[in-house]
């Protein structure tokens, strides 16, 4: 396996133990770690990624950044994925410069110790970041509100704060799933080397005019 | 804190681009112009006359003092829509916000009203409101009734022959309500 981009790793010491957060994880590295599906008693919350095979498959794609947080034991406790939009996705019409933060997640026992911030930072630590438009969509039906304890708008604010640290801004879009509920969220970060033409196409895509 | 989310860029169905922002005293003249340029028929059903400067001054003051939350839509320097979420800080209706939206005639049927409503719905949720109410004149604002139904507003009550039109005809008055969901259990 040839690495396209150099990996970076951060070691995070917390009261709950030491965690290693590593970007551009390879399929081989992921295969050597443990990734358990969460138990079904976690209320209505269902993580988007439940199988290690999905992580391995994603990590094998060109340009993609799978960033993982794991314990010394090899247990994966959090993940972030930066990948290209699916071909049928409206964002792919903008062109090659679009990338989606499709997953940012920390497993329940390991929340509120700052892992998400570090995972997101390394997920976006992509050598081409300034020539890309990175976006995220937040659908409230994927949020773990049972554990969060707040309202959907509190959760939305948490996401806005998290992504704003990395230069993301909220944008309006008529993407049908985002429009389904007022708390749903669309944010993006436009790199400072993105051509004006792409920015204009991104704008048109947000309103399905492309 | 609610203000920090503005300005916002919105592109309409016909490709025109407008900016949503909250009004301040510098928008006073443009707001007076906006309402002044509406037809007399459009203004007929308003409870106040916003072509009068003191009315606009009061509306801006209400926004500053958080009795309302207002949003304007700018096309260049021209105001093309004005939306307000009317709040009651105390009493038995403090959990209910009332919506008032006015869109310039040449910007209608372009989803601008929907963008304004969705934006004010978000602010209402952030303010912890539980219900939104919007009232419409039947026979005059039917397309608006249809539009808000697409946002899950439902018909709650109808006051028959309640409003008198400029032509002397009575119109039914439709009260529409939307429940604002705060948690999973509400879905």
Pairwise CA distance, residues A84 & A81, whole Å: 10
- From the list A45, A112, A40, A52, the residue with the least C-alpha distance to A79 is A52
Which residue range(s) make up the domain with B42? 2-186
Listed in sequence order, the residues at least 6 apart from A90 whose beta carbon sits closer than 8 Å to its beta carbon are A175, A205, A208, A210
Which of B10, B11, B125 lies closest to A183 in CB terms?
B125
Mean pLDDT of chain B: 92
Q: How many domains does chain B have?
A: 1
Q: What is the pLDDT of residue A147?
A: 84
Q: What is the per-residue pLDDT across B120-160, written as a single tens digit (0 to 9) for each?
A: 999 999 999 999 999 999 999 999 999 999 999 999 999 99
The residue segments making up the domain with residue A70 are 9-206
Instruction: Quote the ipTM score.
Output: 0.79
On whether residue A3 sits in a domain, the answer given is no
- What is the share, in percent, of chain B residues with pLDDT greater than 70? 96
| Domain annotation covers residue A27 | yes
Number of domains in chain A: 1
Q: pLDDT band for position B1 (50/70/90)?
A: low
Residues of chain B whose beta carbon is less than 8 angstroms from a beta carbon of chain A are: 5, 8-13, 15, 17, 20, 111, 115, 118, 121-122, 125-126, 128, 180-184, 187
Instruction: Classify residue A2: in a domain, yes or no.
Output: no
The reply to whether A207 touches chain B by the CB within 8 Å rule is yes
Alpha-carbon distance of A139 to A173, in angstroms, equals: 13
CATH of residue A86's domain is: 3.40.630.30
Contact state of A209 with B118 under an 8 Å Cβ cutoff: no
Burial class, B152, CB count within 10 angstroms (exposed 0-12 / middle 13-18 / buried 19+): middle
In a domain, A4, yes or no: no
Angle between helices B28-37 and B53-64 (to 10 degrees): 130
Other C-beta atoms lying within 10 Å of the C-beta of residue B78:
14
Query: What residues in chain A have per-residue pLDDT under 50?
Result: 1-2
Enter the pTM of the model: 0.87
Residue A39: the pLDDT is: 66
CA–CA gap between residue A163 and residue A169 (Å, rounded): 8
DSSP-H helix ranges across B13-85: 28-37, 40-44, 53-64
Q: Which chain B residues are Cβ-neighbours of A145 within 8 angstroms?
A: 183-184
- What's the pLDDT tens digit per position in B65-105? 999 999 999 999 999 999 999 999 899 999 999 999 999 99
Which pLDDT does position A42 carry in this prediction? 62
Residue B186: pLDDT band (50, 70, 90) is very low
Give tens-digit pLDDT for B2-24.
677 899 999 999 999 999 999 98
Token reading at B187 = 């879905």
CATH number (domain holding residue B72): 3.40.630.30
Rounded Cα distance between B20 and B75, Å, is 9
In three-state secondary structure terms, A77 is: strand
């Amino acid at each position: 396996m040839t690495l396209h981009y150099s990996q970076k790793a951060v070691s995070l010491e917390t009261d709950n133990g030491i965690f290693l957060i590593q970007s551009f994880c390879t399929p081989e590295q992921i295969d050597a770690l443990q990734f358990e599906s969460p138990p079904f008693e976690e209320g209505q919350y269902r993580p988007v990624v439940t199988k290690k095979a999905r992580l391995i498959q994603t990590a094998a794609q060109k340009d993609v950044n799978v960033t993982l947080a794991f314990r010394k034991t090899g247990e994966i406790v959090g993940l972030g994925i930066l990948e290209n939009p699916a071909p049928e996705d409206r964002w792919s019409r903008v062109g090659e410069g679009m990338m989606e933060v499709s997953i940012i997640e920390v497993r329940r026992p390991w929340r509120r110790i700052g892992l998400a911030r570090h995972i997101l930072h390394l997920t976006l630590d992509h050598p081409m970041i300034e020539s890309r438009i990175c976006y995220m969509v937040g659908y409230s039906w994927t949020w773990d509100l049972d554990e969060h304890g707040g309202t959907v708008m509190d959760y939305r604010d948490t996401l806005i704060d998290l992504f704003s640290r990395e230069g993301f801004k909220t944008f309006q879009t008529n993407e049908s799933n985002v429009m389904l509920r007022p708390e749903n969220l669309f944010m993006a970060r436009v790199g400072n080397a993105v051509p004006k033409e792409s920015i204009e196409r991104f704008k048109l895509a947000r309103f399905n005019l492309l | 804190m609610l203000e920090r989310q503005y300005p916002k860029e919105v592109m309409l169905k016909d490709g025109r681009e407008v900016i949503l922002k909250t009004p301040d005293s510098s928008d006073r003249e443009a707001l007076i112009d906006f309402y002044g340029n509406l037809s007399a028929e459009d203004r007929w059903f308003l409870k106040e006359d916003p072509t009068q400067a003191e009315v606009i001054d009061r509306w801006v003051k209400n926004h500053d003092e958080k009795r309302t939350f207002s949003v304007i839509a700018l096309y260049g320097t021209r105001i093309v829509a004005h939306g307000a979420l009317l709040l009651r800080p105390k009493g038995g209706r403090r959990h209910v916000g009332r919506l008032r939206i006015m869109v310039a005639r040449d910007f209608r049927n372009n989803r601008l009203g929907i963008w304004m409503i969705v934006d004010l719905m978000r602010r209402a949720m952030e303010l912890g409101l539980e219900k939104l109410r919007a009232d419409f004149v039947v026979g005059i604002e039917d397309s608006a009734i249809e539009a808000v139904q697409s946002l899950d507003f439902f018909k709650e009550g109808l006051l028959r022959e309640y409003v008198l039109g400029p032509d002397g005809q009575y119109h039914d008055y439709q009260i529409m309500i939307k429940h604002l969901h705060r948690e999973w259990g509400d879905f």
